[in-house]
Structure 1
Amino acid sequence: MKLEKIHHVAIICSDYEKSKKFYTEVLGLQIVQEVFREERNSYKLDLAIGDHYQVELFSFPESPARPSYPEACGLRHLAFAVQSVEEAVAELKEKGITVEAIRMDELTNKKFVFFADPDGLPIELYEI
């Protein structure tokens, strides 16, 4: 098997409208398609990141809570590449988002920072 690239990342949120606003207005992802699936009582929102990747935002009634901190077993975090961590942090803070202190990757000497989505999903911004 030869994997070509990441096709998408799927996120289940607890408050669809709140998460939709966060991913589109705070992070600036572009809406590709929004569908309400009546048989599942669920929204599916496809969001574009540049020209290559997609985030699928789902709402499901009564989804169970999941531990969501960087050192929990399972998916560790969602990371986005940015040109400037400082500029991204300033923009997030202007939008009222709590952001951790900027750190330095000891192996690459690149800056990175963590913050959380409305459900506490850890999100990383990594400077390229």
Structure 2
Amino acid sequence: MIATRSISTLPTGALRRIHHIALNVSDMQASRHFYGTILGLHELTGTEIPTSLTELVRQGRVANFRTPDGTVLDLFGEPDLSPPSPDLTQQFTRANHLAFDIAPDLFELAVQVLHDNGVKIDGEPVTRATGRGVYCYDPDGFIVELRCDPQ
């Protein structure tokens, strides 16, 4: 008989929705115009801005938009960002990270599942006024955040 190692996983449905998508942008003004004016997304202002980003928004380094389904689009200004290839068939990414929402009571399980499966985690889980989060890397090195609202 061959013994198999039990690998922990999150239960199906534990990730409730995409919470936010973060993009690096080279021209904040042009990107705000595109997402807010041309595409008509609602730009977060005042108390709508997550407290962890208030100072960066005030400095003009971040802008936040909400899609009609509630997903937040965070734009992070990176003025020194290299331009993409002029060949439109050449793939590239400007995405910073993808964040999934998880119930607060499953957050510790999520961190344990990442550890149990040898997933590379970027630093320690963080706690902010807006909730808790842990950043990890997918198999291609893309940053994924699992986050929950405060309890």
Specify which structure has the higher proportion of helix. Answer: 2
Higher RCO (C-alpha under 8 Å, 6+ residues apart): 2
Give TM-score scaled by structure 1 length: 0.45
Specify which structure has the higher proportion of strand. Answer: 1
